[in-house]
Amino acid sequence: MKLQGAKKVHYDSGPNMTPLVDITMVILIFLMLAGSFNTLEHYLVSDVPLQAKGVGSKPPEGTVFPTKFTINVSEQGPEYIVKAGNFVSVKDTDPRRACDQLQAQLKDQYKNFKDAGVKMDDVQIIIYPEQNVTLDGLVPAFEAAQNAGFAKVGFGLNTK
Amino acid sequence: MPEIREGGVNVTPLIDIVMCLIIFFMLVAKIGVDTGADRNIDIPTSILGTDIKDMGNTLVLNVVNGPSGVPDPQPIVTALVKGQMQELKLRDFYNGKTQDQLLNTLKLFREGDPTLKMAANPDFKVVIRGDKSLSFRFLAPVLMDCNLAHVKSFAFDTKQPA
């Protein structure tokens, strides 16, 4: 006896897409798992060479020397101390909080430079960290200087 | 002419979407691009930061604190050089001669070497992937070598705050 429901229906409606879908799904899952998008990282860029005695060569005749001012960073026990030129001195246990204050002062200084007609491309900030200062303590100072508007931020080596 | 019968699930929109997703992931994902960045290093966090578009023009230096309690401690610097992860010693004594491996590598990348078919690249950048506990006494010699090799620009690799 033949059952009506058991009748096999055959469809001829173009190519069989099942293998294509299988392969594309596998490729999709692979790409989603293997891809690294690097969206969680970024870079703090410095175009200013390290300032140290005895490094580099004699500048050519007629070289325009940049206006520089320094930021000294040190850590004494739990205290994080940052001094910029002779106008800012901040002491705090939290480097971020200290550098927020530094940034506000640097913004004022940036405005002063501009008002005085200084070409901002010629202004460099050189950060002089103490030997024991960690990268985690350096980055906020670097950020504060760049956030205040100074594009050229570099590092210097304390020779003492 | 074969008879076309309606039936089953129409997979055409599914394939369209999947193909679009594959193209998106192929364009955005950086598969197989190894910059030599050591993912085990705990890098500092920064709010500010830019993206380096031309990572092919950079050398990533993984820098961690050197051993303590030894005279003249050196930072531990590793980088992907000639397709291999190598430790680049700042001062290495070999056959009675001092070899500045890091400095020589930086010079090689910048000035090139015709025997190794490496072209000079004056605009090459250094990316410093330093541990957040890296102290400046260990970072300074690395920056000094970058300076001596006349590397024009360097960048600190930082992570965005969560």
- Window 28-47 of B, Cβ < 8 Å to A: 28-31, 43-47
Could you report the per-residue pLDDT of B45-75, keeping only the tens digit for each? Answer: 998 888 887 777 889 999 999 888 777 788 9
Q: Which of the four CATH numbers 3.30.420.270, 3.40.50.2300, 3.40.50.1860, 3.50.30.10 does domain B55-156 have?
A: 3.30.420.270
- In angstroms, what CA-CA distances link B151 with A118, A140, B47, B85, B147? 28, 24, 26, 21, 6
Nearest to B25 by CA among A158, A24, A153: A24
Interface A–B counts its CB contacts (< 8 A) at 155
Structure tokens at A144: 């504060």
Is the torsion defined by CA of A51, A57, A58, A61 positive or negative?
Answer: negative
CATH code for the structural domain at A67-155? 3.30.420.270
Read off the pLDDT of each residue in A109-113 and give the average, rounded to a whole number.
88
Closest CA to A41 of B48, B139, B65: B48
Is pLDDT of A101 > 60?
Answer: yes
Q: In chain B, which stretches have pLDDT less than 70?
A: 1-7, 29-33, 92-97
Region class of B61: left (phi > 0), else alpha (psi between -120 and 50), else beta: beta
pLDDT at B156: 92
Instruction: Give residue A157's identity as a one-letter amino acid code.
Output: L
Cβ-contact B136, A133 below 8 angstroms = yes
Residue B11: closest CA among chain A residues belongs to which residue? A17
Contact A21 B11 (CB under 8 A): yes
CA-based angle A91:B42:A146, to the nearest 5?
50
pLDDT (tens digit per residue) in A50-80: 777 655 556 566 666 677 888 999 988 888 9
Q: Where are the domains of chain B?
A: 55-156
Quote the ipTM score. Answer: 0.76
Confidence of residue A95 (pLDDT cuts 50, 70, 90): confident
- Provide the shortest C-alpha distance from residue A13 to chain B (in Å): 5
- Hey, which residues 113-142 in chain B have their CB within 8 Å of chain A? 125, 127, 130-137, 139-140
A126, A132, A136, A158: best to mutate for the B interface, most B CBs within 10 A: A136
The three state secondary structure string of chain B is CCCCCCCCCCCHHHHHHHHHHHHHHHHHCCCCCCCCCCCCCCCCECCCCECCCCHHHEEEEEEECCCCCCCCCCCEEEEEECCEEEECCCCEEECCEEECHHHHHHHHHHHCEHHHCECCCCCCEEEEEECCCCEHHHHHHHHHHHHHCCCCEEEEEEECCC
Contact B109, B122 (CB under 8 A): no
What pLDDT is stored for residue B139 in this prediction?
92
